[in-house]
Amino acid sequence: MIEESKAVVITSRADMGNKPSSHYEAVEDENTVFISKENDVFRIPALFYDRDRNILMAFSEKRKTSDDASAVALVMKTGTVNKDETTHRVTVKWSELKLVKEAHIKGYRPMNPCPLYEKNSKTLFLFFICVEGTVSELYQICCNRNKARLCYITTKDAGQSWSGVTDLTDKLDEIKSWATFAVGPGHGIQTEGGRLIVPVYGYASCSPSCCCCIKFYCCSPYALYLYSDDQGKSWQFSSRIQKVSLECEMAEVSDDTGLNSIYCNARSQGGHRVEALDKNDGAGFIILPPTDKLVETGTGCQGSVVSFPAQSEDTHADRDPSQNPNKWLLFTHPSNKSKRTDLGVYLNKIPSKSNAWSKPWIINKGPSAYSDLAYIDDGWFACLMERGEISEIEQIACKVFSYQEVKRGIGE
């Protein structure tokens, strides 16, 4: 929710002079999930893989323009995953677009979809925020007036039907001390122990003397998470990361000792990403040393992270990867230091070490922005990403790839 307030005009390739155009240049192909057009812009992807049904569920904001304040609804599509054992290819066939009309509060606009699955009750939670009218995030920060509400809806049938809205805002005292906040965007997780985790970032309230739009970041933002240990019946916030950090995602990681930790990767205002580990020992998040391997792009961009079972490095060995207790990390983010372009996939086999990240494998050359990852088992992944020919917000596409492709792409 921290994009610039001004609208972006998308021009066609033939109009790349000074003449703006209302035509979108994005080329629709088998990977396209949501494609933008005039007065109908899709942004902020979120992805969930339903293992029971073997489908991907893709979510997005529908906006009138690229402006955050123009969001009107959340939308979704489901993608049937087909694994061809002969060609060793995985393809996805997408459904028609569906409006998630239940994700709505009258007088508010829904933003930042964040799906989260509770495996025991087989319930998918779709978290999101609702922001009053067309109030911008900048206004809330400058005036120290939160206009966002923390909401979710649930489904047990893969989005064919949804519950009504549950609004948690007034049940969580921490929100009262924030200038504003948002979830994700992107997916939440459930740990092996059953804890449900929703990534969140909030802006600490400004002091009265700091309330002016000259100092945008006088209200310091920080990442944390919302969690539930009773299958979503009650919720509370974790401790926060003690460093300026914004849009974030979480993953559960483990190592040779069998210790499980919550890893956080967050957008920053500096030149590199913020990484932190929460070992659930009461000490809160431990900030990992910064690394130049994960650069932040310009003024920042959302990124996605997912953990997955450690893979066998010996392709000839008859060893079950599931016997290795370790979990590795995959991360996606624009790889360019100055602008949103060239979406990269990064691999880390030692999540507790920030310098263990690989160089990026570029999966989308050219304009690229927000993304969301899902692990679809057997060493396969799906990435839902914003991309385009001229602008990164022309379409949201899905790319499916394997761990072996990642290895080749990063040069291993």
Q: Categorise residue 64: left if φ over 0, alpha if ψ from -120 to 50, beta otherwise.
A: alpha
Q: Measured at the alpha carbon of residue 339, what is the angle toward residues 336 and 345, in degrees to the nearest 5?
A: 35
- Of 288, 278, 297, residue with least CA distance to 335: 297
Q: Does 3 have pLDDT greater than 70?
A: no
Given 3, 386, 392, 394, the catalytic residue: 386
| Mean pLDDT, the chain, whole residue set | 88
Q: What is the CA radius of gyration of the chain?
A: 20
Cα diameter, the chain: 67
Q: What is the DSSP letter of 151?
A: E
Tell me whether residue 68 is one of the annotated catalytic residues.
yes
Domains of the chain: 32-312+321-410 (2.120.10.10)
Task: Tell me the per-residue pLDDT of 110-163, one tens digit each, with 9 for 90 and over.
Answer: 999 999 999 999 999 999 999 999 999 999 998 889 999 999 999 999 999 999
Distance in angstroms (rounded) separating the CA atoms of residues 349 and 235 = 32
Sign of CA dihedral 22, 372, 113, 273: negative
Per-residue model confidence (pLDDT) at position 207 = 58
Q: What is the pLDDT of residues 188-239, one digit of tens each?
A: 999 999 999 999 999 988 655 454 444 444 678 999 999 999 999 999 999 9
4 assigned to active site: no
| Range of lowest pLDDT (85-99, 106-120, 206-220, 375-389) | 206-220
Q: Which residues contact 267 (CB under 8 A, 6 or more apart)?
A: 2, 245, 246, 247, 248, 273, 274, 296, 300, 301, 302, 303
Comparing C-alpha atoms, which of 374, 376, 260 is closest to residue 326? 260
The pLDDT, as a whole number, for residue 314 is 64
- Out of 203, 222, 225, 370, which one is annotated catalytic? 370
**Model confidence, pTM:** 0.90
Which one, of 339, 340, 408, 406, lies nearest residue 379 by Cα? 406
For residue 91, the surrounding DSSP H or E stretch is strand 89-94
Q: Which of 3, 67, 68, 137 is catalytic?
A: 68
Instruction: Output the six-digit token pair for 233.
Output: 């019946």
**Counting beta carbons within 10 angstroms of the beta carbon of residue 243, is it exposed (0 to 12), middle (13 to 18) or buried (19 or more)?**
middle
Would residue 386 show up in a list of annotated catalytic residues for this protein?
A: yes
Residue 66 pLDDT exceeds 60: yes
